[in-house]
Amino acid sequence: QLKGVSTHGMSWYPEYTNQKTFTQMKKKWGINTVRLAVYTAGDNGYCTGDAKNRKALEKKIDQGVQYATKAGLYVIIDWHILSDGNPKTYEKQSLAFFKKMASKYKKNTNVIYEICNEPNGGTSWETIRSYAKKVVKAIRARDKNAVILVGTPNWSQDVDIAAERPLKGYKNVMYTLHFYAGTHGEYLREKAQKALDKGLPLFVSEFGISDASGNGNLNKTEGSKWMKFLRKNKIGYVGWNLSNKDESSALLKSSCKKTSGFTNGNLTPWGKWLLKEFKK
């Protein structure tokens, strides 16, 4: 079971992607995976920012991969679509990006590619599937075995729909299920169970126990039910987010100004909860 932590947007909180922190998370927190969230749109998104910003993001990704590799971590390169709800919006850019990444990291067997964080805005599975076919093909032409994570409709929740017609002809492809326990409960686990029953490989590349906005109260009771479900089905999970942003889904308190060498006292209630889960 992979377990790990996701960065916040790499354009906004690049400072936490450093060797000391990645090594601490591996050795002391007990994680084996880190996710590098590269927002495609919005302020300084990969596709909406200028060339200089793109270059800086690629450099940060490269550092992230090197730090993760040195720390002994799997590393997910996450094409973090969100406000650009349909992955086709920046399909051209995505193809160029993943060709570049797969050529660069084909020898890094710890690199995992996540090709669309959360399709939304009514984007159908057929649309996502047609996008995924192209991107998976481009990655496979360069990297034969890397695990590839494919997002699912409705903010990566409709895994049951993806399970009806998964991609054909490729190995090591998994489908993402995202949840925030403050908002999503039993009904979403039922959808996940349907997908599992059909044999769909699931991966929780992002989750939280706040509400879906990334803020609000934590729901630890529902969170525990989710963890039980994930353990039972040996599903990998990655918690959102490694930053000190003033929101309940941040792992670090906003008063914490350090970027490495974190103590228990630097963690938010969510951070403390998640670290306990890692050790279970």
Report the interface residues with ligand IDC, using CB under 6 A.
42, 82, 117-118, 155, 178, 180, 206, 212-214, 240-241, 245, 247, 249
Instruction: State in angstroms the smallest separation of the CB of 142 from ligand IDC.
Output: 26
In the bound state with ligand IDC, the residue whose beta carbon lies nearer, of 213 and 217, is 213
φ, ψ for residue 99, nearest 5 deg: -65, -45
> Cα separation of 210 and 233, whole Å?
23
- Positive or negative: CA dihedral 152, 153, 157, 163: negative
> Cα separation of 141 and 107, whole Å?
14
Instruction: State in angstroms the smallest separation of the CB of 12 from ligand IDC.
Output: 8
Instruction: State in angstroms the smallest separation of the CB of 72 from ligand IDC.
Output: 26
Residues with catalytic function: 118, 206
What residue type is 134 in one-letter code?
Answer: K
> Cα separation of 266 and 100, whole Å?
37
Shortest Cβ contact with ligand IDC: which residue? 214
Which tokens is 175 given? 């489908």
In the bound state with ligand IDC, the residue whose beta carbon lies nearer, of 4 and 143, is 4
> Cα separation of 100 and 142, whole Å?
9
State which H helix or E strand residue 82 sits in: none
78 three-state secondary structure: strand
In the bound state with ligand IDC, the residue whose beta carbon lies nearer, of 71 and 250, is 250
In the bound state with ligand IDC, the residue whose beta carbon lies nearer, of 110 and 243, is 243
